[in-house]
Amino acid sequence: MKNKPILYVMGVSGSGKSTIGKLLAETLTIPFFDGDDYHPKANIEKMAGGTPLNDDDRKGWLLTLNELAKSNEPQGAVIVCSALKKSYRELLKNGLDHCRFIYLKGNLEQINRRLQQRKNHFMPANLLQSQFDTLEEPKHAIIVSADLTPEETIQEIIQQL
């Protein structure tokens, strides 16, 4: 394989994407990117105001993340992004040779507890149900329980890679 993989760490808000993504990137010595950093200001304002994003809101953001992935394909990258729908994942992997999705799977109660403890994030906990409503669980992904410790999660991902 001439290129390292592009790894998208996906799941609902509060599933641990950023924590796991950073650790995974460190472990694999490849760059890390938080997809939230690439949201346009209008998306952040909409979410902060308690309004869920729709497909139109997400499309430009997903295309930006796909371009980010393509530009990092030679060295590989870990990109965290909710990637809730199959159509979103199709946009994210378009044109990439070595792309995998890692799904951090949790249930509403478990993730809601995490969000209640989180500070200084633009995604309010009351939007969590809308994320679960939108979620189309991936069939072809590395699936890891959001219940595991970060260290256990990384071990599981590396084993499945």
| Tens digit of each residue's pLDDT (9 = 90 or more) over 91-131 | 999 999 889 999 999 998 888 877 776 655 445 556 778 88
Could you tell me which of 36, 40, 45, 44 has the C-alpha nearest to residue 17? 36
pLDDT of residue 65: 98
- pLDDT value at position 137? 95
First-residue to last-residue Cα distance in the chain: 14
Question: Structural domain boundaries of the chain?
Answer: 6-156
What pTM, to 2 d.p., does this model score? 0.90
**Residue 59: which region, alpha, beta or left (left: phi > 0; alpha: psi -120 to 50)?**
alpha
CATH classification code of 6-156: 3.40.50.300
